Amino acid sequence: MTIDGKAIAGRVMADLIPRAERLAQAAGRKACLAVVLVGDNPASRTYVRAKIKAAELVGIQGKELEFPAGVPQDELLAAVSALDADPSVDGILVQLPLPPQIDPDRVLDAISPAKDVDGFHPANVSSLQLGRPCTIPCTPKGIIRLIDSTGVSIEGKRAVVVGRSNIVGKPVAKLLLDRNATVSIAHSHTRDLKSLTREADILVVATGKRSLVDGSMVKPGAIVIDVGITRTAEGTLGGDVDFASAKDVAAWITPVPGGVGPMTVAMLMENTLECFEARINR
Ligand code: NAD
């Protein structure tokens, strides 16, 4: 069966509306999410638009800041630090990737953990590892919700995560471990990927390699979460999993588009409200 990420994200967002309203009444203003876009990468621009639109839908004020691709690092750092110091801003997101003259670590470090709605700050990353309260990165958080939506328990399952990035692979593996799955992480140096993926009751693929995983690599009855988003020259979107062959083998599978993507945006809204609530209660 297809896991309808768009519909599930829609329900999450609808549930966030009264929460945003309640918090706005308590604070005397709406939550504010600042989104920083550098350069003119069309995919980044689409994501930023989707995030601002979602914020408005939920009742969060979206604040978009745009910089040219050639912006000097100091200028960008100064702008991010200003947002960080602004008491009317509750969450800051810097859309990645950044142009080569900018060190992404310097930018992420300029956002205080309390406003780090992406959960990328080292303090949030280490808290996640230690099992302490923290902001959980949006995509991994959304993936767990999508798995939970199937009603299948994660506990005791064999989970395989393909991809070891800091924003998807590593954190989702930790979240699966926290839910008592037995987790393996595969990556570009993994030998015989197929024999590993075929063991997976839960298979999460986040590589950016179009159709890397086909039906022959999926264990019958598995839950398959396809995180990848690639665009062909003709502009069609596709994932890391060959949906056509995998859907007949898997019990549950996410489509691309309409799977993980919308859930990531919904989780960003939830994280923004969590940061807002923590600031109000401080
Ligand atoms: P990344 O480029 O940082 O990491 C890719 C990972 O894939 C690496 O760890 C690499 O070792 C692994 N890999 C590459 N080729 C492989 C192979 N042949 N076999 C096994 N592993 C291989 O990527 P990322 O930032 O984690 O993103 C991965 C994909 O997910 C991209 O397509 C990205 O656009 C997409 N993404 C989607 C969302 C969403 O909201 N839907 C969010 C984040 C990323």
Residue-wise pLDDT tens digits, 55-103: 999 999 999 999 999 999 999 999 999 999 999 999 999 999 999 999 9
> Cα(226)–Cα(123) distance, rounded to whole angstroms?
28
Q: Hey, what are 250's tokens? A: 């898997």
pLDDT above 90 for 178: yes
Report residue 182's pLDDT band, with 50, 70 and 90 as the boundaries. Answer: very high
For residue 235, what pLDDT is reported?
86
For residue 89, what pLDDT is reported?
98
For residue 36, what pLDDT is reported?
98
pLDDT above 90 for 271: yes
Report residue 233's pLDDT band, with 50, 70 and 90 as the boundaries. Answer: confident
Report phi then psi at 90, rounded to 5: -105, -25
Task: In the chain, list all ranges with CATH 3.40.50.720.
Answer: 138-261
Q: What is the mean predicted confidence (pLDDT) over 224-246?
A: 95
For residue 107, what pLDDT is reported?
98
Catalytic residue flag (residue 209) = no
Catalytic residue flag (residue 95) = yes
What is the atom index within ligand 1 of the atom nearest the CA of 207?
Answer: 7
Q: What is the mean predicted confidence (pLDDT) over 135-151?
A: 98
Which of 61, 90, 95, 240 is labelled catalytic?
95
Task: In the chain, list all ranges with CATH 3.40.50.10860.
Answer: 25-114
CATH T-level assignment (fold) for domain 25-114: Rossmann fold (3.40.50)
Tell me the average pLDDT of the chain.
98
Q: Are 27 and 61 in contact (CB under 8 A)?
A: no
CATH code that applies to domain 138-261:
3.40.50.720
Q: What is the mean predicted confidence (pLDDT) over 148-176?
A: 98
pTM: 0.98
Catalogue the E-assigned strands of 131-181. 158-162
pLDDT above 90 for 232: no
- Ligand 1 pocket test, pick from 207, 210, 230, 265 with the greatest ligand atom count within 8 Å of Cβ, gives 207
pLDDT above 90 for 167: yes
The 10s digit of each residue's pLDDT in 194-206 is 999 999 999 999 9
Which of 90, 116, 118, 201 is labelled catalytic?
118
Q: Residue 239: CA atoms inside 13 Å, Cβ hemisphere, count?
A: 27
> Cα(269)–Cα(61) distance, rounded to whole angstroms?
11
